[in-house]
A = this chain, B = another copy of it.
Amino acid sequence: MHYAAILGFGTVGSGVAEALMINADTMNRKTDGITLKYIVDVRDFPDSPFAGLLTKDFSVVENDPDVDMVVETIGGVGIAAEFTRRALRAGKSVITSNKELVAKHGCELMALAEEHGANYLFEASVGGGIPMLRTVVYNLGAEKITEFFGILNGTTNYILTQMFRNGMSFSAALARARELGYSEADPTADIDGIDACRKVAILCSLITGRQTPVDTISVEGISGVSVEDVEFAASMGCTIRLLGHAYFGGDGKVRACVAPHLIPSKVLLSGVEDVMNGLHIRSEAAGDVMLYGAGAGKLPTASAIVSDMFCLAGNRRDGAAFSWGPPSEERCGNISDLPFSWYVRVSPADGWEEKQSGLHLFAQKDGKLAYYTDEMTEEALLSRFAGQVILSRFRIIR
């Protein structure tokens, strides 16, 4: 029997307590079983069915030799980092959904875990209930992954879906997302692509075995996507989605970005709507593989945490491990080096010559011109439009 403690009894933390109950039969049949022994939170929850497990004192968990799994759902890089380090030093494995902490200090924390015979697992930090991490590390672990692109943030996908489906403006769609509780009180990390960037960093680090620092990933949010872009994209059979997009070159470099992209309808990811997430992975032998599911939400996120606990409880500690080494500057490339087909919306000024090599005008409206281009780098693209005000430019997925 394994004993677990949950740190932080918010949405995800209480979801883990619930998911452990839902999955108890399966867990007991396939593993040594897990008993939830403590929940650590500074708040009181007198009416919770788990009230008897609550404590405000983390050192009770830290000093209980029975506890071998600690679930950290506090969030942020402050107290969460401290408790994680203390738990790992006490030889307890830590399981988390905290993408900020993993993207920033994952390398250090995994090394600390290894040093103390424990694991630091974080399937829930990317893609909610979709097993994205274990798929890239294990299921496709033998593959030369050449590219991935994914919808990794539910809030922005909800907003873009509303803009597409109902012609809503960005701000109206954001207001709607807030009403429905899909958006944080401060939606900046979602809207500006910061949340997705952390997830791209985690995926790239796992794929390459080297930490990919978040500041090596080019990031652009969705506030520049207009209803006009949505209409132009739809007229060429594409949706616009905020994608995390990474290339793994033969030169060993990772080139990644988070940015709005056009996705042709023939690519299945174009149909991923609302708060759902999806990850499309391209590799040399397996070809195209796509994973889809609930990228957020209480139970799906909790289920991913429980999947990590399941690995540990099944005594598959080595088979469950995630790891990567420290960053290597020469491995960090810039996605601007790579050629893409682009969508461009411009408001042409004097002297604009419509016909330039590699540009294809496909629509116009209210004096705005919409182009798609042959494959070219961002620099080559900008030189074509020198002196013009580019209103939007988004990459088009192949």
Most buried by B among A22, A291, A297, A302: A291
CB distance from A395 to the nearest CB of B (A): 22
Partner of A27, one of B140, B142, B209, B293: B142
Contacts of A131 in B (CB 8 A): 135, 139-140, 289
* Chain B proximity of A133: nearest CB distance (Å): 9
Q: Using Cβ atoms and an 8 Å threshold, which residues of chain B touch A297?
A: 287
A272 to B289: give the CA distance in the assembly, Å. Answer: 12
In whole angstroms, what is the CA distance A231 to B289 when docked? 30
Give the contact stretch, choosing among A2-10, A152-160, A316-324, A333-341: A316-324
Closest B residue by C-beta to A316: B319
Interface residues of A in 5-32 (CB under 8 A from B): 18-19, 22-23, 25-27, 29-30
Contact B318 A285 (CB under 8 A): no
A286 interfacial by beta-carbon distance below 8 Å:
yes
* CB-CB under 8 A for A23 and B310, given A209-B29, A303-B142: no
A259 within 8 A of B: no
> Is A162 interfacial (CB 8 A cutoff)?
no
Binary flags per residue of A178-215, CB closer than 8 Å to B gives 1, else 0: 00000000000000000000000000000001000000
A309 interface residue (CB < 8 Å to B): yes
Contact B130 A289 (CB under 8 A): yes
Given contacts A268-B271, A299-B285, A315-B318, contact A139 B134 (CB under 8 A): yes
- Most chain B Cβ neighbours within 10 Å, of A142, A292, A302, A307: A142
Q: Which residues of B contact A307 (CB under 8 A)?
A: 139-143, 286
Contacts of A292 in B (CB 8 A): 268, 288-292
Q: Does A87 interact with chain B (Cβ within 8 Å)?
A: no
Annotate A267-285 by CB proximity to B: 1 below 8 A, 0 otherwise. 0100110000000000111
CB-CB nearest in chain B for A19: B285
Interface membership of A352, Cβ < 8 A: no
Cβ A293 vs Cβ B303 within 8 A = no
A286 to B319 alpha-carbon distance, docked (Å): 21
- Chain B residue nearest to A298 (CB atoms) is B285
Note all chain B residues with C-beta closer than 8 A to A23. Answer: 142-144, 284-285
A294 within 8 A of B: yes
Q: How far is the CA of A22 from the CA of B250 in the complex (A)?
A: 12
Q: Closest CB of chain B to A271's CB: distance in Å?
A: 5
Which B residue's beta carbon lies closest to that of A18? Answer: B285
Establish whether residues B284 and A288, one from each chain, have CB atoms under 8 Å apart when the complex forms.
Answer: no
Query: B209 touching A303 by the CB < 8 A rule?
Result: no
Which residues on the B side are within 8 Å of A25 (C-beta)? 144
| 24 residue pairs A–B, Cβ–Cβ below 8 Å | A19-B285, A22-B144, A22-B285, A23-B142, A23-B143, A23-B285, A26-B142, A26-B144, A29-B209, A30-B209, A129-B285, A129-B286, A131-B139, A131-B140, A135-B139, A141-B310, A268-B268, A268-B292, A285-B306, A286-B294, A286-B307, A287-B299, A289-B292, A292-B292
